[in-house]
């Protein structure tokens, strides 16, 4: 928006340019200038920023750069080198709100929002013994990067709590593998190292199963998956993206200079009296490399005790009975993250005896079971699920386990093996009846399914209510009926035989950090293949008819199992609604 020339003739310098560009009205500029004159040792642009008289920091930076003939730089496009940051003391950064961002020979380029702040530039020059040159940056971005830099400078091992001296994230051998010629950001100095150390330490302390390092155009975030839910724990500046990724690559023995193709690897850290293993996956994205770490020991140290997984007593007995069968197939189903692996390995752990030969083929070995032959898939060497299955049959097996059946060839081979051996595996399906339909869709003859499959378990994981839970008294009975509770359940509730709980809304509990939930519990649908179900399979049944037959046989579906956990006080109705959809047909 242009301003009449007559209205700006009284202004000079930066004020005139801001009025000309429409960033300030003449009235606001005059008022600001009069107030500015009363302040001591403050530049006009600094006054505007501090008093938020100009909302668009980008436009102000461009105007300042043009007025004073200083280059403007977008901090998001700069890869900060922490060695450069360390050239000045953090007290100088705090004092002058200026940050050294890169150097060329003996010249040090300093990010600053006010390029006329010569005392700051002179003090930095004196401290660094380098020629300082200002570059104008947006004030809001500079404030965020300075805040991050100060936080990283303050991060030290003594601040991590408990006994952080026991954590050793990179050994000398791993560092040596990186080589002396790797890019400088691969070993980006103490601040980045300490930040990564703290993130990993906090993830272990919080019980995170996965860590997500995610770069975006305008921000960068690190999220932990705790109790199945992702939560943001730290937001480093965008300019730290490459260095964080490079540091993690070095720790995993990967190539820090390769940014265009996916990379996979493992890292081991010493923690306390033991060690923790992470699996690392790096994927190039539009705005940088996303890094995901999976805490393998989160699963590997799982207590493979069937009594703590959440099975109802009848469900547990059905599972144990299927495991005692010397032949046939036991399937554990559910979506990703539903706890299938732990349930499967719990069954394997029960069967793992000296007189039993157990062989497992897995996409990635995450739980170490001594006494069990574990084979990892490797597409490059030709070791596929199907190839491993064929080889297992030549090695006198008693029990064969396929971590996941993904294609029809693997399923057919597993079915064939199940005619003479006990075969256990997992599938991605919604529930137990849908698993039968899935097998038919994969081209397995109904007769083979009916004569081979002994038991199908479908499952989900829901969060446990923390001990700070409170009773939920305000839900009317008609709503609870629509949610799936039975009339007799409500009668029992009226008698005080069970209570409906929900999370504490105050958010003040130290045990759960105010989230209201701590830990998880499984909910299950355990469906044996009865004679009636076999007849339906061979008669061309579908998911609906299989589900109806399971209901007639008294098999609780996932929703019913979840409501049982609600009545037992383990979880909330809100959590069950999140994890298991209501049956729409029943609602209608």
Give the Cα separation of 435 and 422 in Å (integer). Answer: 18
82 and 188 Cβ atoms separated by less than 8 Å: yes
300 and 366 Cβ atoms separated by less than 8 Å: yes
Question: Which residue in 151, 248, 172, 162 sits closest to 201, CA to CA?
Answer: 162
Give the Cα separation of 311 and 488 in Å (integer). Answer: 22
Give the Cα separation of 58 and 246 in Å (integer). Answer: 30
Residue 493: pLDDT above 90? yes
3-class DSSP assignment, residue 233: strand
114 and 64 Cβ atoms separated by less than 8 Å: yes
Identify the bridge partners of residue 359 per DSSP, sorted by sequence position. Answer: 373, 400
In the predicted model, what is the mean pLDDT of the chain? 82
| DSSP code, position 515 | S
Residue 88: pLDDT above 90? no
Identify the bridge partners of residue 279 per DSSP, sorted by sequence position. Answer: 266, 294
Express each pLDDT in 4-20 by its tens digit.
Answer: 444 444 444 566 666 66
Give the Cα separation of 272 and 167 in Å (integer). Answer: 6
State residue 465's pLDDT score: 94
Q: Tell me the percentage of the chain whose pLDDT exceeds 90.
A: 41
State residue 19's pLDDT score: 65
Give the Cα separation of 332 and 524 in Å (integer). Answer: 10
Give the Cα separation of 514 and 531 in Å (integer). Answer: 50
Give the Cα separation of 329 and 528 in Å (integer). Answer: 11
Same fold, 75-154 and 306-462+521-561: no
State residue 175's pLDDT score: 42
Q: Tell me if the domain spanning 306-462+521-561 has CATH number 3.40.50.2000.
A: no
Express each pLDDT in 63-80 by its tens digit.
Answer: 777 777 888 888 877 767
CA-based torsion, 470, 474, 479, 481: positive or negative: positive
Fold of 75-154: GMP Synthetase; Chain A, domain 3 (3.30.300)
Which two tokens mark 310?
A: 């959440």
Quickly tell me which residue has 């002058």 as its tokens.
96
Residue 565: pLDDT above 90? yes
Question: Which residue in 309, 325, 307 sits closest to 528, CA to CA?
Answer: 325
Express each pLDDT in 365-406 by its tens digit.
Answer: 777 788 999 998 887 888 888 899 999 999 999 999 998 888
317 and 274 Cβ atoms separated by less than 8 Å: no
Q: Where are the domains of the chain?
A: 5-55, 75-154, 164-300, 306-462+521-561
What is the CATH architecture assignment of 164-300? Answer: 2-Layer Sandwich (3.30)
3-class DSSP assignment, residue 481: helix
State residue 160's pLDDT score: 37
State residue 547's pLDDT score: 95
Give the Cα separation of 330 and 321 in Å (integer). Answer: 11
Give the Cα separation of 137 and 148 in Å (integer). Answer: 16
Identify the bridge partners of residue 376 per DSSP, sorted by sequence position. Answer: 362
Residues 6+ apart with CB under 8 A from 234: 195, 199, 221, 222
Express each pLDDT in 31-53 by its tens digit.
Answer: 666 655 555 445 566 666 666 66
Give residue 92's pLDDT band: very low, low, confident or very high (50, 70, 90).
Answer: confident
Which two tokens mark 68?
A: 């004073």
Give the Cα separation of 529 and 325 in Å (integer). Answer: 13
Give the Cα separation of 182 and 278 in Å (integer). Answer: 23
State residue 439's pLDDT score: 94
Give the Cα separation of 264 and 252 in Å (integer). Answer: 9
Note the Cα 335 to chain centre separation in Å: 16
Please give the sequence-ordered ranges of beta strands (E in DSSP) within 429-544, or none if there are none: 453-465, 470-471, 501-502, 517-528
Note the Cα 163 to chain centre separation in Å: 25
3-class DSSP assignment, residue 191: helix
Residue 214: pLDDT above 50? yes
Residues 6+ apart with CB under 8 A from 118: none
């Amino acid at each position: 928006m242009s301003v009449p020339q007559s209205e700006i003739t009284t202004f000079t310098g930066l004020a005139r340019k801001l009025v000309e560009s429409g960033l300030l009205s003449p009235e606001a500029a005059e008022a600001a200038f009069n107030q500015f004159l009363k302040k001591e040792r403050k530049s006009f642009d600094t006054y505007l920023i501090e008093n938020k008289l100009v909302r668009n920091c980008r436009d102000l930076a461009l105007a300042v750069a043009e007025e004073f003939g200083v280059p403007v730089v977008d901090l998001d496009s700069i890869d900060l080198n922490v060695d450069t940051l360390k050239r000045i003391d953090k007290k100088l950064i705090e004092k002058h709100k200026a940050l050294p961002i890169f150097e060329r020979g003996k010249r040090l380029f300093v990010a600053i929002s006010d390029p006329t702040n010569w005392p700051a530039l002179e003090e930095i020059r004196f401290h660094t013994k380098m020629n300082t040159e200002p570059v104008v940056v947006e004030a809001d971005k500079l404030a965020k990067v300075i805040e991050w830099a100060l936080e990283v400078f303050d991060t030290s091992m003594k601040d991590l709590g408990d006994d952080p001296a026991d954590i050793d994230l990179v050994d000398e051998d791993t560092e040596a593998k990186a080589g002396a010629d790797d890019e400088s950001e691969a070993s980006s100095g103490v601040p980045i190292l300490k930040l990564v150390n703290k993130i990993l330490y906090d993830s272990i302390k919080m019980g995170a199963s996965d860590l997500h390092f995610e770069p975006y155009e305008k921000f960068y975030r690190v999220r932990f998956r705790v109790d199945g839910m992702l939560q943001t724990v730290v937001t480093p500046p965008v300019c730290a993206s490459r260095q964080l990724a490079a540091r993690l690559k070095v720790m995993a023995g990967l190539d820090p200079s390769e940014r265009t193709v996916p990379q996979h690897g493992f890292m081991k850290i010493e923690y306390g009296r033991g060690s923790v293993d992470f699996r690392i996956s790096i994927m190039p994205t539009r705005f940088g490399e996303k890094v995901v770490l999976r805490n393998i020991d989160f699963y590997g140290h799982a207590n493979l005790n069937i009594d703590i997984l959440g099975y109802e007593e009848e469900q547990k007995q059905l599972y144990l009975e299927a495991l005692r069968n010397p032949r046939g197939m036991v399937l554990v189903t559910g979506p990703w993250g539903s706890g299938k692996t732990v349930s499967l390995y719990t069954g394997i752990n029960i069967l793992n005896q000296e007189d039993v030969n157990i062989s497992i083929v897995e996409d990635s070995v995450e739980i170490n079971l001594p006494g069990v032959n574990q084979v990892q898939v490797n597409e490059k060497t030709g070791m596929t699920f199907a190839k491993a299955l064929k080889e297992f049959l030549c090695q006198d097996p008693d029990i064969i386990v396929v971590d996941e059946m993904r294609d029809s060839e693997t399923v057919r081979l597993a079915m064939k093996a199940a005619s003479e051996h006990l075969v256990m595996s997992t599938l991605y399906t919604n529930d137990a009846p849908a698993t039968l339909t899935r097998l038919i869709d994969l081209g397995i003859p109904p007769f083979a399914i009916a004569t081979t499959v002994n038991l199908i378990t479908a499952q989900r994981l829901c969060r446990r209510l923390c001990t700070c839970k409170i009773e939920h008294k305000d839900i009317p009975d008609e709503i609870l009926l629509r949610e799936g509770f039975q009339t007799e359940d409500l009668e029992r509730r009226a008698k005080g035989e069970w209570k409906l709980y929900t999370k504490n809304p105050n958010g003040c509990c130290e045990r759960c950090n105010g989230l209201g939930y701590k830990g998880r519990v499984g909910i299950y649908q355990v469906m044996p293949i009865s004679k009636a179900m076999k007849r339906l399979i061979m008669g061309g049944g579908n998911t609906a008819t299989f589900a109806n037959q399971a209901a007639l046989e008294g098999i609780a579906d996932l929703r019913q199992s979840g409501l049982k956990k609600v009545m037992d006080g383990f979880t909330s109705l809100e959590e069950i609604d999140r994890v298991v959809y209501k049956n729409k047909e029943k609602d209608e």
